[in-house]
Amino acid sequence: MKLFELVIGNTRRLVAAEDAEQARRIGQDPTKHPDIHFMPFEVREFVLPGYVITVTPEEAAGQQEAPPTDEPDAQDGDGEEDTREEREALKVWLKEHGIEFNPRWSTDKLRELVQQAATQEATSEAELEAETSAQNDSDDLLI
């Protein structure tokens, strides 16, 4: 596959196609390009001097590479291991507390969710303790 550019004045759209004719048909499809499908646009192969452009269909790309994660890149090996361990610990805590989360969320997002849940849990426990204490005080008055 090649990369083609559909051009109308300053408007440019890139499409992947086997040849220029297929690129033209893609550009004329109103569901894919509603802004230019009805206009006479120019089709030209997209070339970046000094580089080879390779277009890989999504199905094939998934087989060649692992999907990207939201994990931040660590600058040294130790930091990366610490981040993974922390992520796993955060995930375990969230699962134990029955809190739903997206496993692809960043470590910061997971940390934030744990903090929110812990704060909410502490508030609930404090309210329950205050309520129990007040009930015990009223029971003492009845005796």
* CA separation for the pair 80, 59 (Å, rounded): 29
Domains: count for the chain: 2
73 lies in some domain: no
DSSP 73: P
69 lies in some domain: no
Range of the structural domain that residue 104 is part of: 82-142
Asked if 55 and 88 sit in the same domain, the reply is no
pLDDT tens digits in sequence order for the chain, 143 residues long? 889 999 988 888 899 999 999 999 988 888 887 888 788 889 999 888 888 888 887 775 555 454 455 444 444 444 556 678 888 888 888 888 888 888 788 888 888 888 888 787 777 666 767 677 666 655 555 55
Asked if 55 and 7 sit in the same domain, the reply is yes
Residue 51 host element (H or E): none
The number of beta carbons lying within 10 Å of the beta carbon of residue 53 is 13
pTM exceeds cut of 0.85: no
104 lies in some domain: yes
40, 50 contact by CB (below 8 A): no
